[in-house]
Amino acid sequence: MPAPTLDVVAIGNAIVDVIAQSDDAFLAEQGLAKGAMQLLFTSEEAEALYAKMGPGIEASGGSAANTVAGIAALGGNAGFIGQVADDQLGKVFRHDITALGVAFDTAGRAGEPPTARCLILVTSDGERTMNTFLGASQHLPASALDKGLIESGAILYLEGYLWDPQEPRAAMDAAIRIARGAGRKIAFTLSDGLCVDRHRGDFQRLIDEGRIDILFANEDEIKSLNQTDDFETAVAATSAKLPLLVVTRSEMGAIAIADGERFAVPAEPIARVVDATGAGDLFAAGFLAGQARRHSVEDSLAMGAVCAAEVISHYGARPEADLRALVAKRLG
Amino acid sequence: MPAPTLDVVAIGNAIVDVIAQSDDAFLAEQGLAKGAMQLLFTSEEAEALYAKMGPGIEASGGSAANTVAGIAALGGNAGFIGQVADDQLGKVFRHDITALGVAFDTAGRAGEPPTARCLILVTSDGERTMNTFLGASQHLPASALDKGLIESGAILYLEGYLWDPQEPRAAMDAAIRIARGAGRKIAFTLSDGLCVDRHRGDFQRLIDEGRIDILFANEDEIKSLNQTDDFETAVAATSAKLPLLVVTRSEMGAIAIADGERFAVPAEPIARVVDATGAGDLFAAGFLAGQARRHSVEDSLAMGAVCAAEVISHYGARPEADLRALVAKRLG
């Protein structure tokens, strides 16, 4: 197998975000759990919530797609696999990710359902409450995997959210086998506490079977995975089973446990959290870019913290500032 | 004729903006005149430029549509008439404007061309260079005018940009007659210096025939209209023919000449011009909201300056902050 030519190849939902300002009263009225991601299963549900929301801006999103966008912005080489429909929002998604230099060749899917969208309600405290209509994204078939693309990435990065629908779950399973066969590393993000609730058994099995090398989680997710309220208990249990566990802790920064050794990074100071959307995704971008370029775990954590801080300083889940310059400044 | 129930009814392009960061080198490469608006006449031209642009965010736009969005954000009552296609971007436009409480009942147009889009390249100095594919917007027929809606507005506001395509030009002509018949005021924006170049004769005729009560222009436009390089000569010539002329002057604020009397307002101080898109549109929003609510010309100018300052402080041409609160603070 030749040496990898890409730093990271990711498989994730191909989503266009619709970001609108909102308030706690609206979330309560609609019965939405603040800060969480819920799935909207029909286009009628999605239309009904959209009709009640305020005016929005549209921006390409998707958790793992945001991560590869961040890696590209850092000067890394990345690829992406995800399913859009053959419609206007699908064209927007494709334009944005390829304009960043990310390799993306998954063909658009004809007919219904349309390209996935995530209705994101941002409250004045910067918290985002996400309502995802998976649309075409849930129909990524294993047959759409570009084997050569997966083999070309030093790290295969998988999005836990995509474990919900059946076809992409099978595709990710197949992708792990392809990557493993090529001697690549597998990184996985648990994505969301409720998502972990839905798939705890599968996620634990992936870890127990040694199929994950780098696991990303936040506090909620790692506790949910281990069904405990005690953070340290959860971290100890999972880190014992994995080469590398990374846990993001919002304003408390992040930690990594690498082969039993613990590292920590504080959150980067910022003026104000405008929109927390993409914080975890961009942390993963910085960390993975660091790992792919053989930086230390400590430096990789610092790169993650810098990228997360940038993305929460403005609306939208993809970087606007020059991440390379910010990282160079932070690492000195 | 009953008293008007709406402050302003506007006719304009129904456009979704695609906003991307850019630099002077890219503008030069593409032969684009910085700060101006150029028309892209075919979807192929639009696709070709889009393919070369960086990743974007999509947000509802359109000059007069931005203005009514601002009026609504100020607590005013507004209506809008403009042509979208029956597609995803058309749905986005409709959602955003109706979510603001603006009356908008122009039906979507089936088939090609798609909803209009404006590819906006924003350079680090905050200047925006606009490339507009008018799509469905250029097919607004006079038959789509809602006569009752036009009659219900105290002021009919018309977008000069929409003078380019033939069908909307005829529609605006018909709308002026409807509004005049109901005893309403007509406001008109010259939109863009190059647009004035294309339609100088028509615009002068509208003014000479007394069909415009309030004219909005910037320095370029008023000079182009009068084919002079001297600002004061241009202002004197046009203000003599109109009840009310408003000229915006970027960082020099704005002036108004009302029945021979001159008023001025300085630009509101802001930290940094992030994206100048929508400055003129939101100035018009503040000024018209003031006029519709019988504020003085001076206070209307101040309202315009506050709204313009807010919109250039962030990406996108529609207000994000609470304009009502900002205006209340400014007027004291």
Q: What is the pLDDT of residues A82-124, one digit of tens each?
A: 999 999 999 999 999 999 999 999 999 999 999 999 999 999 9
Q: What's the CA gap between A296 and A267, in Å, rounded?
A: 18
Distance from CA of B95 to the nearest CA of A (A): 7
Contact A23, A123 (CB under 8 A): yes
Is the pLDDT at A1 greater than 90? The verdict is no
Tens of pLDDT, residue by residue over A159-199, are 999 999 999 999 999 999 999 999 999 999 999 999 999 99
Residue A271 sits at φ, ψ, to 5 deg, of: -65, -45
Q: What's the CA gap between A119 and A22, in Å, rounded?
A: 11
User: Which residue type is seen at B250?
Assistant: S
User: Of B309, B285, B326, B281, nearest to B59 (Cα)?
Assistant: B281
For A266-279, give one letter per residue: b (16+ CB within 10 A) or e: ebbeeeebbbbbbb
Preceding peptide of B113 cis, ω within 30° = yes
Is the pLDDT at A236 greater than 90? The verdict is yes
Is the pLDDT at B240 greater than 80? The verdict is yes
| B97 touching chain A per CB within 8 A | yes
Which of A51, A87, A96 lies at the smallest CB-CB distance from B56?
A: A96
Q: What's the CA gap between B324 and B306, in Å, rounded?
A: 10
CB-based contact B89 A87, cutoff 8 Å = no
Where are the extended beta strands (E) located within A48-173?
A: 56-60, 78-81, 103-104, 116-122, 128-133, 153-159
Given strand B261-265, what is the order of strands in its sheet?
Answer: B103-104, B78-81, B6-11, B153-159, B185-189, B214-218, B244-248, B254-258, B261-265
CA-based torsion, B101, B102, B105, B106: positive or negative: negative
CB-based contact B55 A114, cutoff 8 Å = no
| A53 touching chain B per CB within 8 A | yes
The number of angstroms, rounded, from the C-alpha of A295 to the middle of its chain's C-alpha atoms is 21
Q: Which residue reads 């004197």 in tokens? A: B236
In this prediction, residue B1 carries a pLDDT of 77
The CATH superfamily assigned to B6-13+62-112+136-331 is Ribokinase (3.40.1190.20)
The residues near B275 (Cβ < 8 Å, ≥ 6 apart) are B19, B122, B126, B128, B312, B314, B315, B316, B317
CB-based contact B58 A53, cutoff 8 Å = no
Tell me the residues of chain A between 249 and 288 that have a Cβ less than 8 Å away from chain B: none
| B21 touching chain A per CB within 8 A | yes
Count of C-beta atoms within a 10 Å radius of residue A295:
18
Closest residue on chain A to B56 (Cα): A96
pTM of the predicted structure, to 2 decimals: 0.94
As a whole number, the mean pLDDT across chain A is 96
Q: What's the CA gap between B287 and B307, in Å, rounded?
A: 9
Give the 3-state secondary structure percentages of chain A, helix then strand then coil, rounded to 5.
45, 20, 35
Burial grade of A59 (CB within 10 A; 0-12, 13-18, 19 or more): buried
Tens of pLDDT, residue by residue over B262-307, are 999 999 999 999 889 999 999 999 999 999 999 999 999 999 999 9
DSSP string across A195-221: HHHHHHHHHHHHHHTT--SEEEEEHHH
Tens of pLDDT, residue by residue over A30-85, are 999 999 889 999 999 999 999 999 999 999 999 999 999 999 999 999 999 999 99
- Mutate one of A26, A43, A52, A58 to test the B interface: name it (highest B CB count within 10 A): A58
Which of B21, B55, B69 lies at the smallest CB-CB distance from A96?
A: B55
User: Of A317, A314, A320, nearest to A271 (Cα)?
Assistant: A314
| B96 touching chain A per CB within 8 A | yes
Distance from CA of A304 to the nearest CA of B (A): 22
CA-based torsion, A87, A61, A291, A238: positive or negative: negative
Q: Which two tokens stand for residue B157?
A: 């506001």
CB-based contact B92 A318, cutoff 8 Å = no
Residues of A in contact with B15 (CB under 8 A): none
- Mutate one of A22, A71, A88 to test the B interface: name it (highest B CB count within 10 A): A88
As a whole number, the mean pLDDT across chain B is 96
Torsion of Cα atoms, B10 then B13 then B18 then B21, to 10°? -80
Distance from CA of A26 to the nearest CA of B (A): 14
Domain ranges of chain A: 6-13+63-106+137-331
CB-based contact A55 B89, cutoff 8 Å = no
In this prediction, residue A205 carries a pLDDT of 97
Q: Quick one: DSSP state of residue A4?
A: P
Is the pLDDT at B19 greater than 90? The verdict is yes
The CATH superfamily assigned to A6-13+63-106+137-331 is Ribokinase (3.40.1190.20)
| B325 touching chain A per CB within 8 A | no
Contact A7, A288 (CB under 8 A): yes
Q: Which two tokens stand for residue B10?
A: 């506007």
Tens of pLDDT, residue by residue over B148-177, are 999 999 999 999 999 999 999 999 999 999
Distance from CA of A99 to the nearest CA of B (A): 5
Residues of B in contact with A114 (CB under 8 A): 88
What number of C-beta contacts closer than 8 Å exist between A and B?
56
In this prediction, residue A137 carries a pLDDT of 97
Banded pLDDT at A332 (limits 50, 70, 90): confident
The residues near A290 (Cβ < 8 Å, ≥ 6 apart) are A296, A299, A300, A301, A302, A303, A304
| B158 touching chain A per CB within 8 A | no
Half-sphere exposure of A52 (CA within 13 A, CB side): 15
User: Of A259, A236, A257, A251, nearest to A283 (Cα)?
Assistant: A251
Count of C-beta atoms within a 10 Å radius of residue B91:
18
